[in-house]
Amino acid sequence: MIKDFSNKLASDLYHKGSCKGLPRQYWLRAIHLLEVMDAVESFEELKRQGFPPSVRLHPLAGKRKGEWAIDIHKISGWRITFRFEQSEFVDVKVEDYH
């Protein structure tokens, strides 16, 4: 379940179905991924959802150690990033951190 959002892009996509900043062609995929994150009850369940390989759930490193990312679109660099604490997704962001 998603506990909180850390940026307006993620919050607007989830609550309004649109946002400013993320190219429109990625909205549906990002919304779907956020809905899956909110529906699962554990991190392991998220891993088992059988995402296509292009989604790529992966840990971040360096100063972002402890955070995870899911590709919205690998070539463009757009990701959903988050931490997982006490069975909840926290600090959920939609961003291009590259």
- For the chain, the structural domain boundaries read 8-96
What's the CATH superfamily of 8-96? RelE-like (3.30.2310.20)
pLDDT in tens, 16-41: 999 999 999 999 999 999 998 999 88
The conformation of residue 3, written as its DSSP 8-state character, comes to -
Q: Which residues pair with 88 in a beta bridge?
A: 85
Quick one: pLDDT at residue 53? 62
User: Could you tell me the pTM of the whole model?
Assistant: 0.90
Compute the 3-state secondary structure of the chain and give helix, strand, coil in percent, each to the nearest 5: 35, 30, 40
Q: Give the whole-angstrom CA distance, residue 22 versus residue 98.
A: 14
